Amino acid sequence: MVEAINAGLADAMADDDHVLVFGEDVGRLGGVFRVTDGLQARFGQRRCFDTPLAEAGIVGLAIGLSMRGYRPVPELQFDGFSYPALDQVISHLAKYRNRSQGAMPMRVTVRIPSFGGIGSPEHHCESPETYFAHTAGVRVVSPSNPADAYSMLRESIAGDDPVIFLEPKRRYWSRQDLALPVTTEPSDRARVARPGSDVTVVAYGAMVRVALDAAEVAERDGGVSLEVVDLRCLAPLDLDAVLDSVRRTGRCIVVHEAPRTLGLGAEIAAVVQERAFHSLEAPVLRVTGFDTPYPPATLEGVWLPGVDRLLDAVEQVLEP
């Protein structure tokens, strides 16, 4: 996935002079995950540059550049270091179009390496999506595979809205044979990642892999058919694919790493029970991280939702 995002950035920069990549260590180093590797060498220091260590300033800078007609693609180095920029996102990035009566769209794509599962210390494994998705005026997307990463990034950069682009670090080293450029479904739409008939499982980011693995096991060991929906876009939510699926299966489980309370599962459960009430054979269940701070690395394996926790929930929703 790192290569796909890198290619997405490079192609966007090649296509449009106004695309700028900046952040902490994205220049000469090429980013702590090498996502921006080679961009400074290829496009020069004007197009790809390091900033001082100041996240609010980085997003603020992007807002000003967007006002001047640029398409900034700032990186915030890790999920946990996006929080100092929350005020700039909530008070400005999300509201600028509105406050300017449409005259100042924010063409900003904020890339954030996100989520857990890579054995990192505190603050490097956060799931910040709720903070952004609750904020009207920004789009929040998260790709689960390299093709989507490329395609959704290109679409985000080329679009007219501010996008919070959450990259699942745990999938950074996943590979896929890709002929680039690749265009997948529009990034505001969910996709059925695996069709099935018994239970709808909604996931995004790294949890899509977990859901697909669970579907494999469920099929093989229990003859249970899971339909996996990859959400892709976390805000504004498009739940048509989910609702379609639930109307067929009658059962729904949402999986995410974020703590349960007010994680995306809450919103999805609320919408599904409202709009597919009479189709539901069982309550919508949530398979999530716990309502605790993200644990130290040696415990992330037991903390994070995995195949077993998900299959437990599958069993529960299938109970007569």
Partner 1 sequence: MAITDRAEAPVAASTLQVLAPDGAVVPGARYPFELSDADHVGMLTAMTVTRRLDGEFVNLQRQGQLALYPSCLGQEAAQVGITSATRDNDWLFPQYRELGAFVVRGVDPAGIGHMWRGMAHGGTGLIEKCCAPITIPIGTHAPHAVGYALGAKFDGVDTVAVTFIGDGATSEGDVHEALNMAAVFQVPCIFVVQNNHWAISVPLSAQTRVTDIASKAAGYGMAGVRCDGNDVLACRVVMRDALLRAREGRGPTLIEAVTYRMGAHTTADDPTRYRSEGELELWRRRDPIDRYRSHLVAAGIWTAQHEERATETGERAAKRLRDEVFDAPMPDPLSVFDHVLSRRSGELERQRRQLARETGRDAT
Ligand X SMILES: Cc1ncc(C[n+]2csc(CCOP(=O)(O)OP(=O)(O)O)c2C)c(N)n1
Beta carbon of residue 139, minimum distance to partner 1 (angstroms, whole number): 7
Encode 92-106: b = buried (16+ Cβ within 10 Å), e = exposed: bbbbbbeeeeeeeeb
Token code pair at residue 113 = 């390496």
- Per-residue x/- marks for a second copy, 99-138, CB under 8 A? x----------------------xx------xx-xx-xx-
Is residue 33 within the footprint of ligand X (CB under 6 A)? no
Catalytic residue among 123, 124, 256, 278: 124
Is residue 90 within the footprint of a second copy (CB under 8 A)? yes
Scanning 1-9, 143-151, 193-201, 298-306 for contacts with partner 1 by CB under 8 A, the matching segment is: 298-306
DSSP 3-state of 146: helix
Is residue 84 within the footprint of ligand X (CB under 6 A)? yes
Q: Which of 14, 41, 270, 302 binds partner 1 (CB under 8 A)?
A: 302
Which of partner 1, a second copy, ligand X, none has residue 220 at its interface (CB below 5 to 8 Å by kind)?
A: none
Is residue 95 within the footprint of partner 1 (CB under 8 A)? yes
- Per-residue x/- marks for ligand X, 259-298, CB under 6 A? ----------------------------------------
**HSE (CB half, 13 Å, CA atoms) of 29?**
11
* Residue 25 Rama label (left phi>0; alpha psi -120 to 50; beta): left
Is residue 57 within the footprint of a second copy (CB under 8 A)? no
Residue 105 is classified by DSSP as -
Contact 35, 169 (CB under 8 A): no
- Is 278 among the residues known to form the active site? no
User: How many Cβ atoms sit within 10 Å of the Cβ of residue 257?
Assistant: 28
Beta carbon of residue 118, minimum distance to a second copy (angstroms, whole number): 19
Instruction: Please give, one letter per residue, the 3-state secondary structure of 196-254.
Output: CCCEEEEECCCHHHHHHHHHHHHHHHHCCCEEEEECCEEECCCCHHHHHHHHHHCCEEE
**Rounded distance between C-alpha atoms, residue 50 and residue 169, angstroms:** 21
Is residue 277 within the footprint of a second copy (CB under 8 A)? yes
User: Which stretches of the chain bind ligand X, using CB under 6 A?
Assistant: 24, 53, 55, 77, 81, 84
Q: Which sequence positions are flagged as catalytic? A: 124
